[in-house]
Amino acid sequence: MILIQERLQGEPYKLLIGCILCNLTKGSKALPILKKLFALYPTVEDIANSKQDDLVQILMPLGFQNRRAATLIKFSKGWILASEEDYLEDLPGVGKYAVDSYRLFVHNDWSVEPDDKELVAYIKRNKQCHTY
């Protein structure tokens, strides 16, 4: 099974958006919505400048669409303004799962100790390949 984070590791802000959308839903359900979202809004600036009602329509199949849409816009505006990755936790919608994913997939930091069962399983499956 390929995690959304694996697909998006080369695009850090998209990886974090994927994590935001995976909150309270399965990756398999979020992936088609992410593809549609990024097809319509390919850059962080596009999402930051989007209309919440337009995002709500895209996010509806995931539930919590109003909250998710507002969070994506706030996150995107925060990402644009952020100057250092040290403040990831301060960005709207970014919690431990997203920070752990960011550290693991963007920074290749295998010392991450996630709580998420899918990240734990991923590390168990792949950590030996990344041990020197």
Buried b (16+ CB within 10 A) or exposed e, 11-30: ebbbbbbbbbbbbeeebeeb
86 is catalytic: no
Residues 86, 109, 115, 116: which is the catalytic one? 116
Q: Do the Cβ atoms of 75 and 90 come closer than 8 Å?
A: no
Give 65: exposed, middle or buried? Use CB within 10 Å, 0-12, 13-18, 19+: middle
Distance CA 3, CA 9 (A): 10
Which positions are catalytic?
A: 116
